[in-house]
Amino acid sequence: MANLLLISVAEYDTRVALVEDGRLVEIHLELSAQDGPTGNIYKGRVVKLLPGMAAAFVDVGLERPAYLFAEDVSAQEDEFYHLWLPPEEGAPGRRVQPTAIEELLHEGQEILVQVLRGPMGGKGARLTTHITLAGHCLVYMPTFPQLGVSRRITEEGERQRLRGLLEELRPGEGGLIARTAARGADREELAREQETLVNLWKRIQRKKDAAAAPSLLHQEMDTVRRLVRELYTPEIDRVVVDEPRGYERVQQYLESLNSLEKYRVELYSGPESIFSHFGVDLEWKRLLAPQVWLKSGGHLLFGSTEALTAIDVNTGRFVGRHHWEETILKTNLEAAKEITRQLRLRNIGGLIVIDFIDMEKAANRELVYQELAQGLKHDRAKTTVLPISPLGLVEMTRQRLRGSLGQAVTEPCSCCGGKGAVISPLVLACDLLRQLAAEAREFPRCRLVVEVNPEVGAVLKEEGERLFQRLAAGYQVQVEIIDRPNFLPDQFEITHELV
């Protein structure tokens, strides 16, 4: 089945779905009001050293100071380094014991930094002084001379070919990493991108010399192009966009890589939502449900704490046909495959513990471990997995560069004092705005009366103003919002009235 990249662009948010072999495997949601600084490059000033944490607070002009760990200070500040790359590439460098932070930096010092991870919860952004500039096929590392090839390119012949091209294209300073998208790329294509990235670095250096601290020197791509850069690979058959300007930006971006790539981009203008049309269900409650059913009748249970995510595997209704050990093995193999999909879909990072059903035979435990490892090869995030213990437990880590899907679309529940989570009014309002746009296309020249929870209604009025103006001009549709205090946050009613 086809691999699709579905992109839905609206004034209030951008949603991107990656579909592999007909199944949703990744969903990215970025609210317009929450565009993060990840990837931005700043000239910052050290405001405070924290020796006990081997870190420093750095003012880069964000709402709160960002933090810089000693291990993220590049070789330009000391004899050691810690290399960060985009998630699919891994970190091929070495890592040594960090020097004390006070030996590396001092308060008031001006430094060039890049945001590794945006603010999350009450924490500020995390920084590094080892700059990386990501293109579509290459990553340029101006402060580190290593050459490398993405771990997701497994064919040894292709790895050797790319290593040879990287040797030829090695810049005067720094190093290069061939990304997964470099598979099959010719020398001319890679050389053009290398030159673009090197020239970008030179412009950043010139701006740094003239700028005061704190100041922004380089801003990451807009949401649409950045997600296409990270997710588009030769394995993608079609890129479908539902908004004309977004369609044009994607076309221009892919055409800049290869003149033929733009023909994989399509503009969707059907009456139903792009996700519904392609059979992708974005029902948040189901996507985030703690229980995930397996085809066999077994199920997974997800539970999260501050420290880790626990996944429990159960046979459920599945009792097998022959032997109990065979039933257990079949359930665990199916669970291992589904877990790798759910980790990507929910974007679960950090420490993860999986409790498989106990297996007596070591050979069966190895089969399940290999199934899990095989599934993780498709994951762009870097993962480390330990073998299954005799108790059936797997300990693993998954790289966390942004918040999970749950963090992106929920907020603490006010009814239970924050012990639970509910879909945020902003996300619910964005869902409803998309439905109103579809209703207006189907029922022009009418009034849409929306009865909704007051919290969601307040967001609708604020975020939907431009959409309502466009619906009035394009479809002669008027939108009236009525607050219903007795409605639950996710409850609403839409009625149509002739104007």
Encode pLDDT of 369-421 as tens digits: 999 999 998 888 889 999 998 888 999 999 886 778 888 888 877 776 666 78
The phi-psi region of residue 61 (left if phi > 0; otherwise alpha if psi is between -120 and 50; otherwise beta) is: left
How much of the chain exceeds pLDDT 90, in percent?
Answer: 61
Residue 34 pLDDT: 56
pTM recorded for the entire structure = 0.78
How much of the chain exceeds pLDDT 70, in percent?
Answer: 92
Q: 451 φ, ψ to 5°?
A: -100, 125
Pairing verdict, β 41-50 and 215-218: antiparallel
d(CA 83, CA 132): 9
d(CA 39, CA 15): 19
Please name each of the domains of the chain with its CATH number. 4-35+224-277 (3.30.420.60), 41-218 (2.40.50.140), 284-405 (3.40.630), 424-498 (3.40.1260.20)
Model confidence at 426: pLDDT above 70: yes
Reported confidence tier of residue 37, pLDDT bands at 50, 70, 90: confident
d(CA 281, CA 283): 6
Cα 429 off chain centre by: 22
Q: Which amino acid is at 9?
A: V
Encode pLDDT of 312-344 as tens digits: 999 876 565 567 788 889 999 999 999 999 999
Q: Which amino acid is at 270?
A: G
Model confidence at 217: pLDDT above 90: yes
- With tokens 């877990």, the residue in question is 339
> How much is the average pLDDT of 73-83?
43
Q: Which amino acid is at 343?
A: L
| CA distance to 102, 288, 321, 380, per residue, from 74 (Å) | 15, 38, 58, 24
Model confidence at 99: pLDDT above 90: no
Residue 326 pLDDT: 83
Model confidence at 88: pLDDT above 50: no
Residue 23 token pair: 């199944």
Reported confidence tier of residue 25, pLDDT bands at 50, 70, 90: very high
Encode pLDDT of 441-493 as tens digits: 999 999 999 999 999 999 999 999 999 999 999 999 999 999 999 998 889 99
d(CA 72, CA 95): 10
- The DSSP element (H or E) to which 55 belongs, if any, is strand 55-59
Residue 351 pLDDT: 95
Residue 144 pLDDT: 87
Residue 94 pLDDT: 40
Model confidence at 83: pLDDT above 80: no
Residue 80 pLDDT: 29
Residue 55 token pair: 């870190």
Model confidence at 243: pLDDT above 90: yes
Residue 161 pLDDT: 96
Model confidence at 6: pLDDT above 90: yes
Reported confidence tier of residue 96, pLDDT bands at 50, 70, 90: very low
| Residue 428: partners with Cβ closer than 8 Å, 6 or more residues away | 456, 459, 489, 490
Model confidence at 92: pLDDT above 80: no
Residue 315 pLDDT: 83
444: preceding bond cis by omega (within 30 degrees): no
Model confidence at 2: pLDDT above 90: no
Encode pLDDT of 107-141 as tens digits: 999 999 999 888 876 788 999 999 999 999 999 99
- The DSSP element (H or E) to which 303 belongs, if any, is strand 299-304
Residue 484 pLDDT: 94
Model confidence at 265: pLDDT above 70: yes
Which of 26-40, 155-169, 279-293, 333-347 is least confident?
26-40
> How much is the average pLDDT of 193-200?
95
DSSP string, 20-50: ETTEEEEEEEEEGGG---TT-EEEEEEEEEE
Residue 122 pLDDT: 72
Task: Report helix, strand and coil shares of the chain as percent, to nearest 5.
Answer: 35, 25, 40
Whether 71 and 130 have beta carbons less than 8 Å apart is answered as no
Beta-bridge mates of residue 264: none
Residue 87 pLDDT: 46
Residue 411 pLDDT: 83
